[in-house]
Amino acid sequence: MVSHDWGREVIDRLSGVFVPATSPFDPATGDLDTAALRANLERVCATMVSGVVIGGTTGEAVLLTDRERTSAVETARDCLSEDQLLLAGTGAESTRETTRLTAEASRAGADAVLVQPPAYYKKALGHDSLVGHYRAVADESPVPVILYQAPLSCSTIELSTSLVAELSEHPKIVGLKDSRGDLPALADHLTHVEKDFRVFIGNGAKLYAALELGAAGGILGVANLVPAEAAEIFRSFEDGRTAEAGRIQERIAPLHNQIVGGHGVPGVKAALDLLGASGGPPRSPLRAIDERTTEVIRGLLSEAGFLDTPVGQA
């Protein structure tokens, strides 16, 4: 029987804002550009973010090879400070493959894994099948497991509160990232999960509201663009400076709603280019945004004040 103290050192640090890193690709070869990835990670890790996620939705995980996933985790491990955590996305369609990817991510340096549900055989994947899947993965995992409710705009299964609550009883399943942006549903999860279970929001426009509900923090695509500001929302809220947290939230909410939510990975990458970081093209079949949309994104960043200040500075 696994003790509930298992993984305690990681679990105790599992709060705040995490950055689901993008995957820069070499424009000539199309290969993962680890030098550009390192530069992006050094930029965000110089702020007060709690850590990064490699191999998430924003990182185009489903478009990466196994070797690229491992290389990205290894690169990230070298960039983080001792105080920052490295999470790796390891969800796959089979329990066997998810278990293998989880073990591989751990060997590459991940502190915990983020596991989206299998979804291809959606009609056949009821409550019991998903419970069995996640328990089997967690039983074999060398590191803590975080459930991942991917955005419903992706091909995914919606994790019910009863499912999340039941899985929260497993000593190795320690948290949930919920990217639906549905605050009542998030509150429902928070009401029913085990006491130490960490719930994160994936919507960068609603971090402040989620913190008010009791969330542990956010795993936020918008934090690729404005890591210092996203982290400061959490820090200000924790310190009782709620007016400051609310002010920053209002400033970055349009960036989430119109860039991350409106244009997805191609929009985030275009914004990174405008901010002087490494965005570059997404991997096919995703397509880069056009010049007109790029100018709209430029206007959003300028209006929020992020093209007139040093990148990453509040």
- Region for residue 161 given its phi and psi (left: phi exceeds 0; alpha: psi -120 to 50; beta: otherwise): alpha
Q: Which of 122, 172, 177, 269 is catalytic?
A: 177
Q: Are 216 and 194 in contact (CB under 8 A)?
A: no
Q: Helices 127-140 and 95-108: crossing angle, nearest 10°? A: 30
CA distance 111 to 54: 11
Q: List, in sequence order, every residue forming a beta bridge with 18; answer none if it has no partner.
A: 51, 219
Count Cβ neighbours within 10 Å for each residue of 58-93 and write b for 16 or more, e otherwise: bbbbeebeeebbbbbbbbbbebbeeebbbbbbbbbe
Tally the C-alpha atoms within 13 A of residue 162's C-alpha that lie toward its C-beta: 3
40 contacts 266 by C-beta, under 8 angstroms = no
148 forms bridges with which residues in the sheet?
177
Active site residue 177: yes
3-state secondary structure of 217: strand
SS3 state at 258:
helix
**Lookup: tokens for 250:** 């209002």
- Burial (CB count <10 Å: 0-12, 13-18, 19+), residue 288: middle
Number of Cα atoms under 13 Å in the Cβ half of residue 9: 6
Longest CA–CA span in the chain (Å) reads 58
Distances (CA, A) of 277 to 34, 103, 236, 253, 269: 14, 31, 26, 20, 9
Q: Which residues are annotated as catalytic? A: 177
